[in-house]
Structure 1
Amino acid sequence: MIVTLIVICEVGFWVLLAVGLALRYAAKMPRAGAAVLLMEPLLEVVLLVVTAIDLKNGAEPDWMHGLAAVYIGFTVAMGHRAIKWADARVAHRFFGGPAPVAPPKYGMARAANEWRTAGRWILAAAIALGLLQAAIWYVGGDGAIDSLRTWQDRMLLLAGINVVIAATYTLFPKKAPAGTGSAEAERPRSFTKS
Protein backbone atom coordinates (compact mmCIF):
# COMPACT_ATOMS: atom_id res chain seq x y z
CA MET A 1 0.00 0.00 0.00
CA ILE A 2 2.79 2.45 0.87
CA VAL A 3 4.65 1.85 -2.39
CA THR A 4 1.44 2.40 -4.35
CA LEU A 5 0.89 5.65 -2.48
CA ILE A 6 4.46 6.77 -3.25
CA VAL A 7 3.84 6.11 -6.95
CA ILE A 8 0.54 8.01 -6.76
CA CYS A 9 2.32 10.94 -5.06
CA GLU A 10 5.00 11.00 -7.76
CA VAL A 11 2.44 10.89 -10.56
CA GLY A 12 0.41 13.52 -8.70
CA PHE A 13 3.47 15.77 -8.46
CA TRP A 14 3.93 15.76 -12.25
CA VAL A 15 0.20 16.10 -12.93
CA LEU A 16 -0.05 19.12 -10.62
CA LEU A 17 3.08 20.55 -12.25
CA ALA A 18 1.60 20.13 -15.75
CA VAL A 19 -1.77 21.59 -14.73
CA GLY A 20 -0.12 24.47 -12.87
CA LEU A 21 2.10 25.37 -15.83
CA ALA A 22 -0.80 25.00 -18.28
CA LEU A 23 -2.88 27.40 -16.20
CA ARG A 24 0.03 29.80 -15.85
CA TYR A 25 1.00 29.98 -19.50
CA ALA A 26 -1.64 28.50 -21.81
CA ALA A 27 -4.68 29.79 -19.90
CA LYS A 28 -2.90 33.02 -18.86
CA MET A 29 -3.97 32.47 -15.25
CA PRO A 30 -0.73 32.78 -13.26
CA ARG A 31 -2.42 32.95 -9.85
CA ALA A 32 -4.49 29.84 -10.49
CA GLY A 33 -1.36 28.10 -11.73
CA ALA A 34 0.53 29.09 -8.59
CA ALA A 35 -2.36 27.89 -6.43
CA VAL A 36 -2.24 24.47 -8.12
CA LEU A 37 1.53 24.29 -7.65
CA LEU A 38 1.13 25.16 -3.97
CA MET A 39 -1.12 22.11 -3.56
CA GLU A 40 1.86 19.81 -4.22
CA PRO A 41 3.05 19.66 -0.57
CA LEU A 42 -0.34 18.17 0.35
CA LEU A 43 0.79 14.99 -1.39
CA GLU A 44 3.69 14.64 1.05
CA VAL A 45 1.40 15.35 4.01
CA VAL A 46 -0.95 12.59 2.87
CA LEU A 47 1.96 10.17 2.46
CA LEU A 48 3.33 11.07 5.90
CA VAL A 49 -0.06 10.66 7.59
CA VAL A 50 -0.81 7.34 5.88
CA THR A 51 2.64 5.99 6.78
CA ALA A 52 2.19 7.05 10.42
CA ILE A 53 -1.28 5.47 10.55
CA ASP A 54 0.10 2.28 9.03
CA LEU A 55 2.79 2.10 11.73
CA LYS A 56 0.29 2.99 14.46
CA ASN A 57 -1.99 0.17 13.36
CA GLY A 58 0.78 -2.29 14.10
CA ALA A 59 2.52 -2.69 10.74
CA GLU A 60 6.11 -3.84 11.07
CA PRO A 61 8.45 -1.12 9.81
CA ASP A 62 10.00 -2.29 6.57
CA TRP A 63 11.73 -0.90 3.49
CA MET A 64 8.47 0.68 2.27
CA HIS A 65 8.17 2.89 5.34
CA GLY A 66 11.81 3.91 4.91
CA LEU A 67 11.23 4.63 1.24
CA ALA A 68 8.28 6.86 2.16
CA ALA A 69 10.51 8.92 4.48
CA VAL A 70 13.20 9.16 1.79
CA TYR A 71 10.65 10.18 -0.85
CA ILE A 72 9.26 12.92 1.38
CA GLY A 73 12.77 14.21 2.13
CA PHE A 74 13.71 14.37 -1.52
CA THR A 75 10.45 15.93 -2.62
CA VAL A 76 10.67 18.63 0.06
CA ALA A 77 14.30 19.43 -0.77
CA MET A 78 14.16 19.04 -4.55
CA GLY A 79 10.54 19.71 -5.47
CA HIS A 80 10.86 23.49 -5.66
CA ARG A 81 13.95 23.16 -7.85
CA ALA A 82 12.14 20.74 -10.18
CA ILE A 83 9.23 23.15 -10.50
CA LYS A 84 11.56 26.06 -11.33
CA TRP A 85 13.43 23.89 -13.84
CA ALA A 86 10.22 22.85 -15.62
CA ASP A 87 8.78 26.38 -15.46
CA ALA A 88 11.83 27.92 -17.15
CA ARG A 89 11.83 25.33 -19.93
CA VAL A 90 8.09 25.49 -20.62
CA ALA A 91 8.20 29.30 -20.68
CA HIS A 92 11.13 29.27 -23.09
CA ARG A 93 10.09 26.41 -25.34
CA PHE A 94 6.41 27.20 -25.80
CA PHE A 95 5.76 30.78 -24.72
CA GLY A 96 8.76 32.87 -25.82
CA GLY A 97 10.35 33.20 -22.40
CA PRO A 98 14.08 33.73 -21.91
CA ALA A 99 16.40 30.80 -22.41
CA PRO A 100 17.20 28.89 -19.23
CA VAL A 101 20.68 29.55 -17.93
CA ALA A 102 22.98 26.55 -18.08
CA PRO A 103 25.04 25.77 -15.00
CA PRO A 104 28.71 26.78 -15.21
CA LYS A 105 31.03 24.16 -16.60
CA TYR A 106 34.45 25.26 -15.44
CA GLY A 107 36.50 26.65 -12.59
CA MET A 108 35.31 27.83 -9.22
CA ALA A 109 31.90 28.76 -10.62
CA ARG A 110 31.39 25.05 -11.33
CA ALA A 111 32.63 24.19 -7.84
CA ALA A 112 30.18 26.66 -6.27
CA ASN A 113 27.36 25.13 -8.32
CA GLU A 114 28.38 21.64 -7.18
CA TRP A 115 28.28 22.80 -3.52
CA ARG A 116 24.77 24.21 -4.04
CA THR A 117 23.68 20.90 -5.59
CA ALA A 118 25.32 18.98 -2.74
CA GLY A 119 23.53 21.22 -0.26
CA ARG A 120 20.15 20.28 -1.75
CA TRP A 121 20.99 16.57 -1.62
CA ILE A 122 22.27 16.91 1.95
CA LEU A 123 19.06 18.71 2.94
CA ALA A 124 17.01 15.91 1.36
CA ALA A 125 19.05 13.32 3.24
CA ALA A 126 18.73 15.28 6.51
CA ILE A 127 14.94 15.48 6.19
CA ALA A 128 14.78 11.76 5.41
CA LEU A 129 17.09 11.01 8.36
CA GLY A 130 14.85 13.04 10.67
CA LEU A 131 11.69 11.29 9.48
CA LEU A 132 13.36 7.90 9.77
CA GLN A 133 14.51 8.69 13.31
CA ALA A 134 11.00 9.87 14.20
CA ALA A 135 9.64 6.57 12.89
CA ILE A 136 12.20 4.66 14.96
CA TRP A 137 11.17 6.53 18.10
CA TYR A 138 7.51 6.08 17.21
CA VAL A 139 7.87 2.32 16.83
CA GLY A 140 10.14 2.04 19.85
CA GLY A 141 13.22 -0.02 20.50
CA ASP A 142 11.23 -3.26 20.68
CA GLY A 143 10.06 -3.01 17.07
CA ALA A 144 11.83 -4.28 13.98
CA ILE A 145 13.67 -1.11 13.03
CA ASP A 146 16.56 -2.63 11.06
CA SER A 147 15.13 -1.58 7.69
CA LEU A 148 14.75 2.01 8.91
CA ARG A 149 18.35 2.02 10.18
CA THR A 150 19.46 0.71 6.77
CA TRP A 151 17.76 3.67 5.08
CA GLN A 152 19.51 6.01 7.51
CA ASP A 153 22.88 4.50 6.54
CA ARG A 154 22.02 5.01 2.87
CA MET A 155 21.14 8.65 3.47
CA LEU A 156 24.44 9.26 5.29
CA LEU A 157 26.28 7.60 2.39
CA LEU A 158 24.41 9.74 -0.12
CA ALA A 159 25.28 12.93 1.76
CA GLY A 160 28.92 11.84 1.96
CA ILE A 161 29.09 11.12 -1.77
CA ASN A 162 27.74 14.58 -2.55
CA VAL A 163 30.33 16.21 -0.27
CA VAL A 164 33.10 14.24 -1.99
CA ILE A 165 31.88 15.27 -5.46
CA ALA A 166 31.67 18.96 -4.50
CA ALA A 167 35.05 18.83 -2.76
CA THR A 168 36.60 17.25 -5.84
CA TYR A 169 35.44 20.14 -8.03
CA THR A 170 36.80 22.57 -5.43
CA LEU A 171 40.21 20.93 -5.07
CA PHE A 172 40.58 20.03 -8.75
CA PRO A 173 38.52 22.60 -10.69
CA LYS A 174 37.75 21.67 -14.27
CA LYS A 175 39.72 23.89 -16.62
CA ALA A 176 38.20 25.60 -19.62
CA PRO A 177 39.28 24.31 -23.03
CA ALA A 178 42.20 26.15 -24.62
CA GLY A 179 41.19 29.28 -26.49
CA THR A 180 38.36 30.34 -24.20
CA GLY A 181 38.84 33.14 -21.71
CA SER A 182 38.51 32.13 -18.07
CA ALA A 183 35.81 34.76 -17.43
CA GLU A 184 33.80 33.47 -20.37
CA ALA A 185 34.37 29.86 -19.35
CA GLU A 186 33.00 30.45 -15.86
CA ARG A 187 29.99 32.50 -16.99
CA PRO A 188 26.75 30.52 -17.31
CA ARG A 189 25.68 29.98 -20.88
CA SER A 190 22.11 30.11 -22.15
CA PHE A 191 20.53 27.11 -23.78
CA THR A 192 19.46 27.65 -27.34
CA LYS A 193 15.95 26.97 -28.54
CA SER A 194 15.78 23.74 -30.48
Structure 2
Amino acid sequence: MIAWIISAEIAFWIVIIVGLICRYVFKKPKLSIFFFALTPVIDLLLVLLTAMDLKAGTPASTAHGIAAIYIGVSIAYGKTMISWADVKFQQWILKASIQKETLTGLAKGKHEMKLLGRHIVAYIIGAGLLYAMTLFIGSNTDTSPLLQVMKVWGIVLTVDAIISISYVIFPSQK
Protein backbone atom coordinates (compact mmCIF):
# COMPACT_ATOMS: atom_id res chain seq x y z
CA MET A 1 0.00 0.00 0.00
CA ILE A 2 2.77 2.43 0.88
CA ALA A 3 4.39 1.63 -2.47
CA TRP A 4 1.19 2.74 -4.23
CA ILE A 5 1.16 6.03 -2.32
CA ILE A 6 4.82 6.66 -3.17
CA SER A 7 4.13 5.71 -6.79
CA ALA A 8 1.19 8.13 -6.90
CA GLU A 9 3.38 10.93 -5.52
CA ILE A 10 6.13 10.19 -8.05
CA ALA A 11 3.58 10.04 -10.88
CA PHE A 12 2.09 13.36 -9.71
CA TRP A 13 5.44 15.14 -9.93
CA ILE A 14 6.37 13.46 -13.21
CA VAL A 15 3.23 14.70 -14.95
CA ILE A 16 3.77 18.18 -13.48
CA ILE A 17 7.38 18.30 -14.70
CA VAL A 18 6.42 16.96 -18.13
CA GLY A 19 3.63 19.54 -18.27
CA LEU A 20 6.06 22.33 -17.43
CA ILE A 21 8.55 21.10 -20.02
CA CYS A 22 5.77 21.05 -22.62
CA ARG A 23 4.72 24.57 -21.62
CA TYR A 24 8.11 26.28 -21.46
CA VAL A 25 10.58 24.20 -23.48
CA PHE A 26 8.39 22.90 -26.31
CA LYS A 27 5.98 25.89 -26.24
CA LYS A 28 2.91 23.61 -26.23
CA PRO A 29 0.54 25.14 -23.63
CA LYS A 30 -2.43 22.94 -24.58
CA LEU A 31 -0.33 19.81 -24.17
CA SER A 32 0.84 21.07 -20.77
CA ILE A 33 -2.78 21.46 -19.66
CA PHE A 34 -3.37 17.82 -20.66
CA PHE A 35 -0.56 16.69 -18.36
CA PHE A 36 -1.76 18.90 -15.50
CA ALA A 37 -5.22 17.40 -15.95
CA LEU A 38 -3.76 13.94 -15.33
CA THR A 39 -3.16 14.75 -11.67
CA PRO A 40 -6.77 13.99 -10.62
CA VAL A 41 -6.58 10.77 -12.64
CA ILE A 42 -3.64 9.71 -10.47
CA ASP A 43 -5.76 10.44 -7.38
CA LEU A 44 -8.64 8.40 -8.79
CA LEU A 45 -6.32 5.46 -9.48
CA LEU A 46 -5.03 5.60 -5.91
CA VAL A 47 -8.61 5.58 -4.59
CA LEU A 48 -9.45 2.57 -6.76
CA LEU A 49 -6.28 0.69 -5.75
CA THR A 50 -6.96 1.40 -2.08
CA ALA A 51 -10.57 0.22 -2.37
CA MET A 52 -9.53 -2.92 -4.26
CA ASP A 53 -6.86 -3.66 -1.65
CA LEU A 54 -9.41 -3.38 1.16
CA LYS A 55 -12.05 -5.36 -0.72
CA ALA A 56 -9.51 -8.13 -1.36
CA GLY A 57 -9.40 -8.67 2.39
CA THR A 58 -6.28 -6.73 3.36
CA PRO A 59 -6.80 -5.51 6.92
CA ALA A 60 -7.34 -1.75 7.15
CA SER A 61 -4.08 -0.07 8.06
CA THR A 62 -2.51 3.30 8.63
CA ALA A 63 -1.29 3.14 5.02
CA HIS A 64 -4.89 3.11 3.80
CA GLY A 65 -5.52 6.18 5.95
CA ILE A 66 -2.43 7.87 4.53
CA ALA A 67 -3.78 7.20 1.04
CA ALA A 68 -6.96 9.11 1.98
CA ILE A 69 -4.86 11.97 3.36
CA TYR A 70 -2.77 12.02 0.19
CA ILE A 71 -5.88 12.23 -1.98
CA GLY A 72 -7.47 14.96 0.14
CA VAL A 73 -4.30 17.04 0.16
CA SER A 74 -3.70 16.49 -3.54
CA ILE A 75 -7.18 17.68 -4.43
CA ALA A 76 -7.25 20.64 -2.03
CA TYR A 77 -3.69 21.83 -2.71
CA GLY A 78 -3.20 20.55 -6.28
CA LYS A 79 -3.52 23.89 -8.04
CA THR A 80 -1.32 25.57 -5.43
CA MET A 81 1.37 22.89 -5.84
CA ILE A 82 1.27 23.24 -9.62
CA SER A 83 1.62 27.04 -9.31
CA TRP A 84 4.56 26.61 -6.93
CA ALA A 85 6.22 24.15 -9.34
CA ASP A 86 5.61 26.57 -12.23
CA VAL A 87 7.41 29.41 -10.44
CA LYS A 88 10.28 27.15 -9.34
CA PHE A 89 10.66 25.75 -12.89
CA GLN A 90 10.92 29.27 -14.25
CA GLN A 91 13.47 30.23 -11.59
CA TRP A 92 15.63 27.10 -11.64
CA ILE A 93 15.45 25.93 -15.26
CA LEU A 94 14.65 29.09 -17.22
CA LYS A 95 16.65 31.30 -14.82
CA ALA A 96 13.78 33.79 -14.69
CA SER A 97 13.90 36.45 -12.01
CA ILE A 98 10.64 36.19 -10.10
CA GLN A 99 10.38 38.15 -6.89
CA LYS A 100 8.13 36.73 -4.21
CA GLU A 101 6.26 39.29 -2.15
CA THR A 102 6.81 38.88 1.58
CA LEU A 103 3.48 39.12 3.33
CA THR A 104 3.11 40.82 6.69
CA GLY A 105 0.32 42.12 8.84
CA LEU A 106 -3.27 41.50 7.82
CA ALA A 107 -2.23 40.31 4.34
CA LYS A 108 -0.25 37.48 5.97
CA GLY A 109 -3.22 36.66 8.19
CA LYS A 110 -5.57 36.46 5.19
CA HIS A 111 -3.10 34.24 3.34
CA GLU A 112 -2.81 31.88 6.33
CA MET A 113 -6.60 31.71 6.64
CA LYS A 114 -6.87 30.75 2.94
CA LEU A 115 -4.35 27.98 3.52
CA LEU A 116 -6.31 26.86 6.58
CA GLY A 117 -9.42 26.73 4.38
CA ARG A 118 -7.57 24.45 1.96
CA HIS A 119 -6.47 22.27 4.90
CA ILE A 120 -10.09 22.01 6.05
CA VAL A 121 -11.18 21.02 2.53
CA ALA A 122 -8.41 18.38 2.44
CA TYR A 123 -9.55 17.08 5.82
CA ILE A 124 -13.19 16.86 4.70
CA ILE A 125 -12.22 14.98 1.52
CA GLY A 126 -9.89 12.64 3.44
CA ALA A 127 -12.47 12.04 6.18
CA GLY A 128 -15.13 11.35 3.57
CA LEU A 129 -12.87 8.83 1.87
CA LEU A 130 -12.02 7.14 5.16
CA TYR A 131 -15.72 6.94 6.06
CA ALA A 132 -16.48 5.50 2.62
CA MET A 133 -13.68 2.95 3.13
CA THR A 134 -15.17 1.83 6.45
CA LEU A 135 -18.58 1.41 4.82
CA PHE A 136 -17.03 -0.36 1.82
CA ILE A 137 -15.16 -2.97 3.85
CA GLY A 138 -18.06 -3.53 6.24
CA SER A 139 -18.28 -4.16 9.94
CA ASN A 140 -16.46 -7.52 9.85
CA THR A 141 -13.06 -5.81 9.62
CA ASP A 142 -11.24 -3.73 12.21
CA THR A 143 -11.24 -0.14 10.97
CA SER A 144 -9.60 1.38 14.04
CA PRO A 145 -6.36 2.20 12.15
CA LEU A 146 -8.40 4.41 9.81
CA LEU A 147 -10.03 6.19 12.74
CA GLN A 148 -6.63 6.64 14.40
CA VAL A 149 -5.36 8.38 11.26
CA MET A 150 -8.32 10.77 11.46
CA LYS A 151 -7.61 11.52 15.12
CA VAL A 152 -3.97 12.37 14.41
CA TRP A 153 -4.94 14.45 11.39
CA GLY A 154 -7.56 16.22 13.52
CA ILE A 155 -4.83 17.21 15.97
CA VAL A 156 -2.66 18.49 13.11
CA LEU A 157 -5.61 20.47 11.74
CA THR A 158 -6.31 21.97 15.17
CA VAL A 159 -2.68 23.07 15.56
CA ASP A 160 -2.75 24.55 12.04
CA ALA A 161 -5.96 26.43 12.89
CA ILE A 162 -4.46 27.87 16.08
CA ILE A 163 -1.34 29.03 14.24
CA SER A 164 -3.32 30.44 11.30
CA ILE A 165 -5.73 32.33 13.55
CA SER A 166 -2.79 33.72 15.53
CA TYR A 167 -1.63 35.53 12.37
CA VAL A 168 -4.98 37.34 12.31
CA ILE A 169 -5.17 38.07 16.04
CA PHE A 170 -1.50 39.05 16.33
CA PRO A 171 -0.53 40.37 12.88
CA SER A 172 3.18 40.65 12.23
CA GLN A 173 4.66 44.11 11.95
CA LYS A 174 6.36 45.33 8.79
Question: Which category of TM-score, normalised to the shorter sequence, fits these structures?
Answer: over 0.9
SS of the aligned residue for 1:137 comes to: helix
132, 135, 139: which one aligns with 1:134: 132
1:148-163 alignment runs, 5 A limit = 148-163=146-161
Q: How has the CA–CA distance of structure 1 residues 103 and 120 changed in structure 2, closer, same or farther, with 3 Å as cutoff? A: farther
Could you tell me how far apart the structure 1 residues matched to 2:138 and 2:99 are?
A: 48
Percent of paired sites with the same residue: 29
How far apart are 1:60 and its partner, in Å? 1.1
Instruction: Show structure 2 runs of 5+ residues with no match.
Output: none
Could you tell me how far apart the structure 1 residues matched to 2:25 and 2:5 are?
A: 29
Could you tell me how far apart the structure 1 residues matched to 2:170 and 2:38 are?
A: 42
User: Which residue is equivalent to 2:106?
Assistant: 108
User: Which residue is equivalent to 2:34?
Assistant: 35
Q: Name the stretch that deviates more: 8-17 or 151-160.
A: 151-160
User: Which residue is equivalent to 2:9?
Assistant: 10
| TM-score (ref. length: structure 2) | 0.92
How far apart are 1:23 and its partner, in Å? 0.5
> Which runs of 4 or more aligned residues in structure 1 lie more than 6 Å from their structure 2 counterparts after TM superposition?
none
Q: What count of residue pairs does the alignment treat as equivalent?
A: 174
SS of the aligned residue for 1:4 comes to: helix
Query: 1:68-98 CA distances to partner (integer Å, 9 max, x unpaired)?
Result: 1111111111121110111123235544767
User: Which residue is equivalent to 2:25?
Assistant: 26
How far apart are 1:10 and its partner, in Å? 0.7
User: Which residue is equivalent to 1:70?
Assistant: 69
| TM-score (ref. length: structure 1) | 0.83
Instruction: Show structure 1 runs of 5+ residues with no match.
Output: 177-194
Query: 1:152-172 CA distances to partner (integer Å, 9 max, x unpaired)?
Result: 112221221121011111111
Could you tell me how far apart the structure 2 residues matched to 1:82 and 1:160 are?
A: 22
Task: Answer yes or no: is the 8 Å Cα contact 1:60–1:143 preserved in 2.
Answer: yes
Query: 1:2-38 CA distances to partner (integer Å, 9 max, x unpaired)?
Result: 1111111111111111110001000011111111111
Could you tell me how far apart the structure 2 residues matched to 1:103 and 1:135 are?
A: 41
How far apart are 1:50 and its partner, in Å? 0.9
- What one-letter code is carried by the residue in structure 2 that aligns with 1:76? I
Could you tell me how far apart the structure 2 residues matched to 1:7 and 1:147 are?
A: 19
SS of the aligned residue for 1:39 comes to: helix
SS of the aligned residue for 1:79 comes to: helix
Over the aligned positions, Cα root-mean-square deviation in angstroms equals 1.6
